[in-house]
Amino acid sequence: MLQVRQDALSERFSLQRAAFETQPFPNLDVRKDRLKRLLALTERHEADICAAIDADFGGRSAHETRLAELFVVRAGIHHALAHVAGWMRERRVATSLPFLPGKNRLVPQPLGVVGVVSPWNYPFQLAIAPVTAALAAGNRVLVKPSELTPAFSALLAKLVAEHFAADELSVINGDAEVGKTFVSMPFDHLLFTGSTAVGRQVALAAAANLTPVTLELGGKSPAILDASADVDAAASSIAYGKLLNAGQTCIAPDYLLVPKGQAETVAAKLVAAVARLYPTLRDNPDYTAIVSDRHYQRLRDMITEAGDSGADVTEINPANEAFGSNSRKLLPTLVRNASPNLRLMREEIFGPVLPILEYAGIDDAIDHVNRADRPLALYWFGQDRGNRQRILRETISGGVTINDCMLHLVQERQPFGGVGASGMGAYHGEWGFRTFSKEKPVFLQSRLSGSGLLRPPYGKMFERMFGLLKRIS
């Protein structure tokens, strides 16, 4: 079975490569047609997509799927349809004086065959958003979705096959071994979304083919509560950002920094905010389950280790419900006084568990962020403009939202991507188009050019012209 899937991958890659060679620069109508079919796939099958993801999670809020996946994808496709004509147009670039009256142009050219490896936590959005950018840029695309969401991955393959020819867009399903083969293919660009550890392996595999990569990874994204913050409003935003998809979000707040002496007060505010969002948990369709037994147990082990070490662990259960042994719904959990050597403080949590740490002052908060790997996201809450500017200028992260959580992700007019251990490259909107294009510089020489006067045989005319160049350059 594995060999069959790998053979199918090679066959579809070759099919797309041949198709691209026959149409290396699809015109605007072709690109818009592909985007419209992608939009139709999104709009016509909302219920099926929600049901498949719900089945894979063992309980995934349909409202979260509609908002965080379908709405985000739909907005991205509409934005691309509205702007792709401008993105693909040749751009004038100023020409330096010594080379006038020649002209510079930038021609955005499709790369060829693009590979997209998407994760399980937002399986639709994180597959189709990069596909949107790649198709807008004129490429052919192969997608490898996660094996941890088998119902959705099978549905995606079926829907794509109904809306696209295999040489335009195709889905390859399979296990981790198929995934390893996938990222080893000689793609013209590869986009991977997932963990930092796997991202390193993907980069190594792609390097063998000199395939450029965009890595959308994760890490420990901090939320910082300034002394000037509205604590009630901040607690509400942080609770929502942490518990959306039960914390299984790459840009979820991973831990919270609060001014010294405020951890207990802030924890109480968070408990109240969680109860408002989720007055019940066990049978509440708004509260999502953990995707697998392995991930559930990983989170339980982290919480147990924290409690055994002496940390203050608060499990939030507003209705005091009992949970069956088959449930993968994990209680929202706050952890105070966690030591830095705990797994909870060293690893990306990726679940509804929030450590709360105290800091002595703005310098201490900045130092704490900068001691760790550069995060994918950072959140700051407060009204003090001086402290805000220091956080923005003295820390490095993939993106920032001020006085809320995660909203920088859905801005189609801004790039989204990580930095350092949280990723490389960016997409969304025009930045996605550029990621999957080669911006080819072109110089158009004029008939009136004097460049021939700088060619051999060198002599007095060369010296005069060279002297002139030095004066005007």
pTM greater than 0.85: yes
The whole-chain average pLDDT of the chain stands at 95
Is residue 456 pLDDT above 80, yes or no? yes
Annotated catalytic residue, options 50, 64, 168, 250: 250
Residue 469 has pLDDT above 90, yes or no: no
148 has pLDDT over 50 = yes
Q: How far is CA 231 from CA 17, 263, 273, 312, in A?
A: 55, 11, 11, 21
DSSP 8-class letter at 471: H
Q: What is the DSSP string of 140-175?
A: EEEEE--TT-HHHHHHHHHHHHHHS-TTTEEE----
Q: Which among 216, 348, 358, 430 is annotated as catalytic?
A: 216
What is the pLDDT averaged over residues 87-101?
91
CB 163, CB 40: distance < 8 Å: yes
Q: Domains plus CATH for the chain? A: 2-217+423-439 (3.40.605.10), 222-417 (3.40.309.10)
pLDDT of 2 reads 53
Q: Tens digit of pLDDT for each residue in 210-249?
A: 999 999 999 999 999 999 999 999 999 999 999 999 999 9
C-alpha span between 221 and 38 (Å, rounded): 32
Q: At 455, is the pLDDT very low, low, confident or very high (cuts 50, 70, 90)?
A: confident
Question: CB neighbours of 375 closer than 8 A, spacing ≥ 6?
Answer: 219, 220, 221, 222, 254, 369, 397, 398, 422
Judge whether 305 counts as a catalytic residue. Answer: no
| pLDDT bracket for residue 428 (50, 70, 90) | very high
The pLDDT, as a whole number, for residue 5 is 66
Class of residue 472 by CB neighbours under 10 A (exposed 0-12, middle 13-18, buried 19+):
exposed
Annotation says 250 is catalytic: yes
What was the pLDDT predicted at 447?
87
Confidence of residue 405 (pLDDT cuts 50, 70, 90): very high
Q: How confident is the model at residue 69 (pLDDT cuts 50, 70, 90)?
A: very high
Over residues 87-105, the mean pLDDT reads: 92
Name the CA radius of gyration of the chain, rounded. Answer: 26
Quickly state the pLDDT bin for 58 (edges 50, 70, 90): very high
Q: Provide mean pLDDT across the span 70-94.
A: 97
Mean pLDDT for the stretch of residues 411-432: 96
